[in-house]
Amino acid sequence: MSMSKPILAAVLLLCGAATVHAQGPSDPDPVFSQVTPAYAGQVSLFCLPNGLGDPLTQAFAFGGQQVDARVRFQAMNAQNMPIVGLPVERMWLENLAGNLYLCPPNPLRFASVASMPTDPAGITEFTGPIFAGGYTGPGQPLQVFVEWASGLVVPIPPNLNISLNSPDLNGDGVVNLGDVVIFTQDFFGPYNYRSDFYWDGVLNLSDVARMSQGLNTVCP
The Cα angle at residue 199 between residues 193 and 204, in degrees rounded to 5: 85
How far is residue 41's CA from residue 110's CA, in Å, rounded to a whole number?
26
Pairing of strands 91-94, 142-147: antiparallel
How far is residue 115's CA from residue 200's CA, in Å, rounded to a whole number?
28
Q: Does 180 reside within a domain?
A: yes
pLDDT at 205: 97
Q: Does 147 reside within a domain?
A: yes
| CA-closest candidate to residue 166, choices 2, 68, 45 | 45
**Strands of the 34-37 sheet, one edge to the other:** 34-37, 71-74, 123-126
Q: Does 86 reside within a domain?
A: yes
Domains identified in the chain, total number: 1
Q: Does 134 reside within a domain?
A: yes
Do 34 and 73 meet the contact criterion of CB atoms below 8 Å apart? Answer: yes
How far is residue 49's CA from residue 167's CA, in Å, rounded to a whole number?
9
One digit per residue, the tens of pLDDT, for the chain of length 220 reads 444 444 444 444 444 444 457 899 999 999 999 999 999 999 999 999 999 999 999 999 999 899 999 999 999 999 999 999 999 999 999 988 778 999 988 655 678 999 999 999 999 999 989 999 999 987 788 999 999 999 999 999 999 999 999 999 999 999 999 999 999 999 999 999 999 999 999 999 999 999 999 999 999 8
pLDDT at 97: 76
Q: Does 146 reside within a domain?
A: yes
pLDDT at 23: 93
DSSP 205: H
- Expressed as residue numbers, the domain containing 105 is 4-214
Q: Does 219 reside within a domain?
A: no
How far is residue 51's CA from residue 128's CA, in Å, rounded to a whole number?
9
pLDDT at 118: 98
Q: Does 220 reside within a domain?
A: no
Dihedral of CA 3/87/156/219: which sign? negative
Pairing of strands 162-165, 153-160: unpaired
Q: Taking the model in full, what pTM does it have?
A: 0.88
How far is residue 163's CA from residue 117's CA, in Å, rounded to a whole number?
25
Q: Does 117 reside within a domain?
A: yes
How far is residue 176's CA from residue 152's CA, in Å, rounded to a whole number?
36
